[in-house]
Amino acid sequence: MNRITSTRTSSFLLALAFLGFVSLGLPDAITGVTWPSVRDTFQLRQGAVGLVLVVSGVGYLISSFLSGQLIQAIGIGWVLAVSTGLVAASMFGFGFAPIWLGFVFCAMVHGLGSGAIDSGLNGYAAHQMSARHLIWLHACYCFGALIGPVLMSNVLASGRHYSVGYSIVGGAMLVLTVMFLITRQSWGAAASSTRQIRVPMRGSGVLRDSTVWLQMAIYFLYTGLEVTFSQWTYTVLTESRNVSPDTAGIAVGVYWGAIGVGRVISGAIADRFGIDRLIRYCLVAATSGALLFAARLPVGAAFLGLSLAGLGLAPVYPCLMSRTPQRLGAERSAHAIGFQVGAAMIGAAAIPGTLGVIAGMGGLETIPVGVVILFGILVLLHESLLSLPDAGSDAK
């Protein structure tokens, strides 16, 4: 009976983790939809959205880098419950903030909550789940990122205030907060079996390990490249290659769809195929897609290149996360996972921004070329990682 109860609890926590990643995607993609309405409400310039993104990013970095210490101090169950509650509060705050500074403050709260959820769930999944489940976990983020904009677009199209959409998302996050509170002891009991939660090593000690820095560099580049395709594909196609806006919009959708499909497929084969081997081949596929997109061939080739890039990028983030405890051991990985998530956040902002600055000097086509160069560096870094000894083993 105890085994049956334990199995049911694990299955419920798995389902709750999937919902948690859907919840991460829900609010993240809403800002772009609501921004014109928010801008007009507070009578702001177009560029003011940058302040929201920067402040949210700072909060995300703080909580992700401190997640290991937070989990040690209060347990993963409480971290998930409190951080989800912060995201819920930020959603209601976004919807009803009476002044612009209040809206910006909510961006900080949202970043703090999201960073802790991301790091906490990734840490739990890396220690408790198979590579298949971890990849599918990240596919749930894509699902949430799809639902959020559709939900908010329908709210605004119906003539209602953006606060209605934010309230719906906030209500969903409140329900999830309650579920995390109810199950907080179960999360801690499961995690303690891997000794992930209460470990003596401090984060500063983990940063002395060169493997940790190498993995952070890989996460920095990977996430930056993923976001670069998302942010710049539309502009490159419409303003440099004279592709119609409708077609360019579909191209971006094809890219994100390829990531979602790629994560579902790779999750089904990762454990049998070998995680390291899967990442290696997928990076080759993604680099090929980037080359095809950079070649300035007819738009059909650009679609194929974006599809290859999306399919290739799809499993990299979760597969690397799955290997972290094996490479570093439970003690170091409890902190290292938070550092990796933080490095990914920095890359998501720094790489698209830097390529944008370069494009301002050399033209938009420098962006696809820069992406190809960065893919080459990413492949080399991953091969360097494979050459290092680790605490586990995987087919290569």
The domains of the chain, with CATH numbers, are 2-198 (1.20.1250.20), 206-386 (1.20.1250.20)
Q: How confident is the prediction for the chain on average, in pLDDT?
A: 83
Mean pLDDT over 227-233 rounds to: 82
Place of tokens 């409190």: 82
> For residues 338 and 202, is the Cβ–Cβ distance under 8 A?
no
Question: Between residues 169 and 239, which one has the greater pLDDT?
Answer: 169
Q: pTM, whole model, 2 decimals? A: 0.72
Is the confidence at residue 285, as pLDDT, over 50? yes
Q: 58-107: per-residue pLDDT in tens?
A: 888 888 878 778 888 888 889 989 999 999 999 999 999 999 999 999 99
Please classify residue 4 by burial: count the beta carbons closer than 10 Å to its beta carbon, then call 0-12 exposed, 13-18 middle and 19+ buried: exposed
Gyration radius from the chain CA atoms: 21
Furthest CA-CA distance within the chain: 67
Query: What integer pLDDT is reported at residue 93 of this predicted model?
Result: 97
